[in-house]
Amino acid sequence: MNNHTITGSASADIPPQVLRSFTVQEVAKRLDHAVLRPEYTAIDVAEQAAMCVAHGVGCICVRPVDVATAARLVLDKGVVVSSVIGFPHGNHRREVVALEARLAIEDGARELDMVMHTSAFFSGDDATVRSCIAAVVAEAVPHGVMVKVILETCLLLPKQIVRACCLAEEAGANFVKTSTGFVTGRDQIIGATPESVRVMLDTVGTRLGVKASGGIRTWEDAVGYLAMGCTRIGVGDAAAILKMAAPEQQLNYPQGSY
């Protein structure tokens, strides 16, 4: 299997009746809506937080500087705030990611999406990769905060995905995640592919959560990854994806425009 060859949509091999079995509300709760672009302003963060509340999105994932604002905006409204850590490339010292995690938790983050130390990984320094993840986990566990480790699978071969998943598990992470969405791999892949997600599910899917993220822009692909076994889906436009569901799946879907 070559992880650097795109072989189609996540929904390609999923029976249509399975795709139709997911309601908007069910999918919305599994979405992590990313508000991470460098040009986003405080107004953008507020608008995106309001969208997440209105559409029942489960998690809003923001830049570290936006955690306190996002936490205030969604307080008691059913949306969890996640902060990225070591974003976007992951090549930070252990002490730095630990401090970033601590400050994010103090600001109100209930989940942390940290980037694996990619330089150490490609250098074969598994101890450093594991240590950096463990440092973030150590900050998170006392507060009941969940840690997701971003592997950047578009840069990895299948055997490397297996190794990265195992390191995340050994370090105590709760989830493994495909991508930041900010890196282009070989063959111009950005983000999740069914092949990379399958490797992750087969490696740790019975013990850790698996989050497909990066390049997921349609209802069919979001639901396709859920049907494969992912428990979270990272997206950049949750409202657009939810509006793509068939009318019979809409149920109590809010009708505002955001």
Would residue 159 show up in a list of annotated catalytic residues for this protein?
Answer: no
Task: Give phi and psi for 114, each to the nearest 5.
Answer: -100, 145
Would residue 177 show up in a list of annotated catalytic residues for this protein?
Answer: yes
CA nearest neighbour of 176 among 166, 186, 187: 166
The kind and range of the H/E element at 84 are strand 80-85
32, 66, 177, 221: which one is catalytic? 177
Task: Compute how many other C-beta atoms are within 10 angstroms of the C-beta atom of residue 53.
Answer: 16
Task: Give phi and psi for 149, each to the nearest 5.
Answer: -105, 120
Task: Give phi and psi for 224, each to the nearest 5.
Answer: -60, -40
211, 221, 237, 243: which one is catalytic? 211
Are 97 and 129 in contact, with CB atoms under 8 Å apart? no
Are 61 and 74 in contact, with CB atoms under 8 Å apart? no
Report the distance separating Cα 162 and Cα 249, nearest Å: 36
Residue 45 in 3-state DSSP?
Answer: helix
Overall size of the chain counted in residues: 258
Peptide bond into 88 cis (omega under 30): yes
- Angle, helix 158-170 to helix 126-140, in steps of 10 degrees: 40
Would residue 148 show up in a list of annotated catalytic residues for this protein?
Answer: no
32, 66, 113, 221: which one is catalytic? 113
Residues assigned a catalytic role:
113, 177, 211
